[in-house]
Structure 1
Amino acid sequence: MTNLAFSSARPSFSPLRLQQRSLGWQAAAVVLGTLFLALSSYIEVPMVPVPINMQTFAVTLIGALYGWRLGAITIAAWLVEGAVGFPVLSGGAAGASYFVGPTGGYLFSFPLVGALVGWLAERGWNGNRAVLAFAAMLLGNLACLVLGTAWLAAMIGAGQAITFGFLPFIVGGLLKSALGAATLMALPRGTMNLPKP
């Protein structure tokens, strides 16, 4: 039998190291992640047709901390909670109607955004490198805006969608990306032993 541990270590992409934990730990992380997403949904500035809130901050941070697979699963679980009636969407909203309305494109983009940021984090765009962590968060926010605006454009036209669904969120996306990167940098980082390939 081969010895799977070896002495050299490299920085972990996440201080949580969820990929190394048991299924029970990962399930608990999903529950806590959906709670964090729900709480972030209550921090909002009402706007029409799409409110500004802290959801994308939570989505990108979960992706960066959980990795692309578990991050996407956690975000999808939160969306299912909202669709079946739990008050976890923006401002405590709930119900399947939000997935076919003006916010639908943004909601459907969230698991993809979390997966994108998680995938980048696993490749070094994480709290070990501040500029790359910010870039990963910014790409996640941009992906959300592009996909959400495209959905909105199908409902109200491209010009109106850009005016009301993209431009007002640029500064917020920059600030949330910086906050996300700063949060990653503030978390303790360590090393882990990885098995030989």
Structure 2
Amino acid sequence: MTSLAIPARRPVLADALAPRLSRAVPSPWLADVALVLAGTLVVALSAQVTIPLPIVPITGQTLAVIVVGAALGSRRGAAALLTYLAVGLAGAPVFAGLTGSVAAVMTPSFGFILGFIPAAFVAGWFAERAWDRTPLLALGGFVAASVVPFLIGVPYMAWILNGVMGLGYDLAGILAVGVVPFIAGGLVKAGLAALLIPAAWRLVRRVDER
């Protein structure tokens, strides 16, 4: 009989490093907190790598979101991005351009930040199914994760531009400023992540063999 069950969760990179981290951290719960905070820091630093555009800037965040999600797994990855969102809204300068405040909610790019949370979850979900072990499978999973922020970010941007600012963008205009400029960069970032994560797994295996 053919089984239709969802494949069991496999260890992610953070799980492979957990025995080493446990020597420095007294409890598994604190180890998870440390991993989440480390993921938050990686995303915050990557947000400062920015190419300015008129409406939504190109940043290094998407690459960091995919890498953090895949390395930490779905739940810890999503928690890292939720923490990133919370500290940014609280005023910490973690968003692009060293900005951060509750006023970010009314910017056209804020919907993409919201979309980073499920995007990290999706990248982690694929990693938990061992898609992150080989570049080809990793690329498929990471491209899927890269699409997620647009599913939230583009409608949110349209609402801000048209509903709040009254600029009157049509669908073609929204796609021109919120999707088209990011397609090539998104594919490149997914490709880089699909090279980095399997390479990190190879390094971990070599260290374990030694």
TM-score band (shorter)? Answer: 0.7 to 0.9
Match of 1:146 in 2: 151
Distance in 1 separating the partners of 2:181 and 2:143: 15
Match of 1:64 in 2: 70
RMSD: 2.0
User: Is the helix fraction higher in 1 or 2?
Assistant: 2
Range 145-154 or range 110-119, more displaced = 145-154
Shift of 1:146: 2.8
Structure 2 residue corresponding to 1:88, chosen from 77, 94, 103:
94
Structure 2 residue corresponding to 1:118, chosen from 119, 124, 147:
124
Shift of 1:12: 5.3
Residue 123 of structure 1 aligns to a residue in which SS?
coil
Alignment of 1:152-191 (within 5 A): 152-156=157-161, 157=169, 158-187=171-200, 188-190=203-205
Give me the TM-score of the superposition, normalised by structure 2: 0.80
Whether 1:136 aligns to 2:141 is yes
Shift of 1:147: 2.0
Unaligned runs of 5+ in 2: 1-8, 23-27, 162-168, 206-210
Shift of 1:135: 1.2
Match of 1:194 in 2: none
Match of 2:85 in 1: 79
Which residue identity is paired with 2:134?
R
Which residue identity is paired with 2:76?
L
Shift of 1:148: 1.0
Which residue identity is paired with 1:162?
L
CA contact (8 A) 1:37 1:55 kept: yes
Whether 1:16 aligns to 2:21 is no
Match of 1:5 in 2: none
Distance in 2 separating the partners of 1:58 and 1:29: 14
Distance in 1 separating the partners of 2:105 and 2:127: 28
Shift of 1:13: 4.1
Match of 1:27 in 2: 33
The CA deviation string for residues 48-102 of structure 1, in whole angstroms up to 9 with x for no partner, is: 1100000011111111011111110111001111000000001211111212320
Shift of 1:149: 1.1
Which residue identity is paired with 2:13?
P
Percent identity reads 30
Unaligned runs of 5+ in 1: 1-10, 191-197
Shift of 1:28: 1.0
CA distance 1:72–1:19, change in 2 (3 Å): farther
Match of 2:165 in 1: none
CA contact (8 A) 2:51 2:57 kept: yes
Distance in 1 separating the partners of 2:143 and 2:43: 18
Which residue identity is paired with 1:135?
G
The CA deviation string for residues 100-134 of structure 1, in whole angstroms up to 9 with x for no partner, is: 320121011111100011111101221x1211111
